[in-house]
Amino acid sequence: MTRNIDNLHPEDGAVVPSEQIPSAVTAGRLTYGDGTTQTFRSDGSTSFFEAGRQTEGTWSVEETGRFCSFWPPSYRASYDLRWVVEGNAVVGLRFSDPKSGTCFDGRFQ
């Protein structure tokens, strides 16, 4: 199956431009280093799976161009997104919290 980002050829660590964020996050299910997974849908909804438990939230692109996620009832986070590239293929996304500097990678399944 061709993903909506397969025609892109960014460098590893390059910033995901704000206009490409929707295509980037909806390109496939992401698996994080701790084994949790997350799916982003084009309608702005997201599902996070951890230890057999599913949590529902929403995502958007802020006016600043940052990726934003909201988890009810009140948790909101903003991240800079960067491409994770191996060889010539996009294999995931790096989420970086601009406030804390915390980074985590999600790899497409």
Burial bucket for residue 100 (CB in 10 Å: 0-12, 13-18, 19+): exposed
pLDDT in the model for residue 10: 85
Residues ≥6 apart with Cβ < 8 Å to 62: 68, 78
Average pLDDT, the chain: 92
Q: Copy the structure tokens of residue 24.
A: 């980037």
Q: For the chain, give the percent of residues with pLDDT over 70.
A: 95
| Local confidence band at 2 (pLDDT 50, 70, 90 cut-offs) | very low
Q: Copy the structure tokens of residue 6.
A: 């397969």
Domains of the chain: which residue ranges? 18-108
Tell me the average pLDDT across 73-96.
94
**Matching CATH number, 18-108, of 3.40.50.150, 2.40.50.100, 1.10.10.10, 2.40.128.640:** 2.40.128.640
Query: Which bin fits 57, alpha (ψ -120 to 50), beta or left (φ > 0)?
Result: beta
Tell me the average pLDDT across 41-59.
96
